[in-house]
Amino acid sequence: MPNSINFADSLAAHAMIKGNPVVVGLDPRADQLPAVFTRRFRASRPTWQEVAEAYRLFCREIIDVVAPLVPAVKPQAAFFEQCGPDGMMALADVIQYARHRGLIVILDGKRNDIGSTAEAYADAYLGAGSVWGADALTVSPYLGDDSLTPFVNVARQRNSGIFVLVKTSNPGGGQFQDIRSDGVRMYERVAAYVNSISLPGSGRFGYGEVGAVVGATYPEQLSELRAAMPNCWILVPGYGSQGGTALDVQGAFDERGLGAVVNSSRGIIFAHRQKGYQEKFGEARWQAAVEVATCDMIEDLRTHTHAGRLSAVVEPEA
């Protein structure tokens, strides 16, 4: 079923209905899976086909747990690609399953290329009718405006979205992103451009189909970038395992609690290995650990950010 409302509005609706801005990152790693999935592996070294199948089943179970709780999931393409073509089949299944369970699917692929090649990526990934069927894709900006335009055009046609890397959460992110020219840093230039291409597609809540990725590990920049990109949803990675807290991400939200979604991957999907959940649930009850970790993150964000206002957002006039 093709998406019938614009991506930004759909993301807002999902966040309001669930009353929180949590994105669960699906970053499966073979060495951290609960034993119920690895038990089927051959004794010494599993085949990539076995690993891919374990990822598929593991992610489906995660989706079953989190679908009633959160608005979106973010599969990380790299871990599926690591399994070769079998991994890609698993990825397609996971995307379809998450959508079937009513979740928004943001595929984290950080793709890009020039002109007609970018168009092929956009056609491949964006929208329910596409062959992969994601609602949104993360995209890299280094190749410039004409590499982003094909994504924006396809996203607009198909009520889907993209999130352009603006300020990433890794320690080395600043090497090129923080370079200052005429007083303006590279990531600020990218942010200004990203907002300019999102603006024309703005929906009922003022946001368009072009969002931005800004790491939770840079709290000051999150507030600055919220102001600099009034028409862009911000996808915030780096909460939890990477060190970002609810206080760190509060600047990403607007007054209504909209405008930002916050991702946690390991902190949720491998909660059974984390201090606090490990003792309580152990590996046997890993799904319960996922559920409680998700609820704890929701509570944390609702308490310490404007996301607490999400469930009270009043529908604007039509």
Whole-angstrom distance, CA of residue 58 vs CA of residue 46 = 16
Q: What angle do CA 300, 27, 106 make, to 5 degrees?
A: 75
Q: How many residues of this chain bind a second copy (CB under 8 A)?
A: 57
Cα 306 to chain centroid, rounded = 19
Nearest distance, CB of residue 195 and a second copy, angstroms: 15
SS (H, E, C) 236-266: ECCECCCCECHHHHHHHCCCCCCCEEEEECH
With CB under 8 A as the contact rule, the residue among 38, 46, 101, 113 that binds a second copy is: 113
Nearest distance, CB of residue 278 and a second copy, angstroms: 20
Window of 3-11, 71-79, 255-263, 279-287 that interacts with a second copy by CB under 8 A: 71-79
Window of 58-66, 122-130, 282-290, 304-312 that interacts with a second copy by CB under 8 A: 122-130
> Does residue 27 touch a second copy according to CB under 8 A?
yes
Secondary structure (3-state) at 53: helix
> Does residue 73 touch a second copy according to CB under 8 A?
no
Nearest distance, CB of residue 280 and a second copy, angstroms: 26
Q: In the chain, which ranges are E strands?
A: 22-26, 72-75, 104-111, 136-139, 161-167, 180-181, 184-185, 210-214, 234-236, 260-264
Nearest distance, CB of residue 238 and a second copy, angstroms: 9
DSSP conformation class of 159 = T
Nearest distance, CB of residue 100 and a second copy, angstroms: 17
> Does residue 56 touch a second copy according to CB under 8 A?
no
> Does residue 102 touch a second copy according to CB under 8 A?
no
Buried b (16+ CB within 10 A) or exposed e, 246-278: bebbbbbbbebbbbbbbbbbbbbbbbbebeebe
The yes-or-no answer on residue 110 being catalytic is yes
> What mask of x and - would describe binding to a second copy in positions 174 to 193, judged by CB under 8 A?
xxxx-xxx----x--xx--x
> Does residue 97 touch a second copy according to CB under 8 A?
no
Catalytic residue among 110, 167, 275, 280: 110
Whole-angstrom distance, CA of residue 266 vs CA of residue 272 = 10
DSSP conformation class of 317 = P
Nearest distance, CB of residue 309 and a second copy, angstroms: 31
**Which residues touch 67 (CB under 8 Å, ≥6 apart)?**
98, 101, 102, 103
Look at residues 261, 246, 251 and name the one whose alpha carbon lies nearest to residue 207. 261
Whole-angstrom distance, CA of residue 184 vs CA of residue 240 = 30
With CB under 8 A as the contact rule, the residue among 21, 127, 161, 173 that binds a second copy is: 173
Looking only at residues 124 through 153 of this chain, which bind a second copy when binding is defined by CB under 8 A? Answer: 124-125, 131-132, 140-147
Nearest distance, CB of residue 108 and a second copy, angstroms: 8
Whole-angstrom distance, CA of residue 273 vs CA of residue 267 = 9
With CB under 8 A as the contact rule, the residue among 3, 112, 159, 195 that binds a second copy is: 112
Window of 55-63, 171-179, 285-293, 294-302 that interacts with a second copy by CB under 8 A: 171-179
> Does residue 44 touch a second copy according to CB under 8 A?
no
Whole-angstrom distance, CA of residue 58 vs CA of residue 24 = 13
Active site members = 110
Which residues here bind a second copy, judged by CB under 8 A?
27, 48, 76, 78-79, 81-85, 87-89, 91-92, 108, 110-115, 117-118, 120-121, 123-125, 131-132, 140-147, 165, 168-177, 179-181, 186, 189-190, 193
